């Protein structure tokens, strides 16, 4: 077991932050569109329905990817990777990739939801 492996430290830290942040966003979502708190992109801020959906969807994804990061940290904890500078870059790379994937999935879901709302309004 190795608490000093950068792979472990990075993934367990950021994973925990994602889980806590996602949980707080799910329990206390922002009520109205704002530029300070919540999942804020041009798509999520188009209207209140999309905004509300974005907060629920993104908080679930954030907790999911936080859990994935936390589980991946065990690779470094149990010395399955030797301690090295490479582990730091691997940990940071995984954070970037998983964060990008989370944003991509959320934006795709928002665009799909926006099309459904527009179709419903045009009917």
pLDDT on residue 123: 74
Residues with Cβ within 8 Å of residue 49, at least 6 apart in sequence: 113, 117
What's the CA gap between 51 and 7, in Å, rounded? 35
What's the CA gap between 69 and 52, in Å, rounded? 26
For residue 105, which of 47, 42, 61, 39 has the smallest C-alpha distance? 61
Average pLDDT rounded to a whole number, residues 91-99? 96
Which tens digits make up the pLDDT trace of 20-56? 999 999 999 999 999 999 999 999 999 999 999 999 9
pTM of the model: 0.89
For residue 41, which of 119, 97, 104, 94 has the smallest C-alpha distance? 104
What's the CA gap between 38 and 51, in Å, rounded? 9
Answer yes or no: are the C-beta atoms of 81 and 7 closer than 8 Å. yes
Residues with Cβ within 8 Å of residue 64, at least 6 apart in sequence: 22, 102
Average pLDDT rounded to a whole number, residues 58-82? 90
């Amino acid at each position: 077991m190795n608490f000093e492996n950068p792979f472990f430290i990075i993934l367990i830290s950021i994973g925990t932050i994602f889980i806590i942040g996602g949980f707080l966003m799910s329990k206390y979502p922002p009520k109205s569109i704002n530029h300070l708190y919540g999942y804020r992109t041009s798509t999520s801020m188009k209207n209140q329905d999309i905004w509300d959906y974005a907060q629920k969807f993104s908080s679930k994804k954030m907790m999911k990817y936080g859990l994935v990061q936390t589980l991946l940290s065990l690779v470094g904890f149990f010395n399955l990777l030797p301690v090295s500078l490479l582990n730091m870059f691997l940990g940071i790379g995984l954070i970037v990739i998983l964060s990008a994937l989370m944003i991509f999935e959320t934006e795709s879901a928002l665009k799909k939801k926006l099309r459904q709302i527009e179709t419903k309004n045009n009917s």
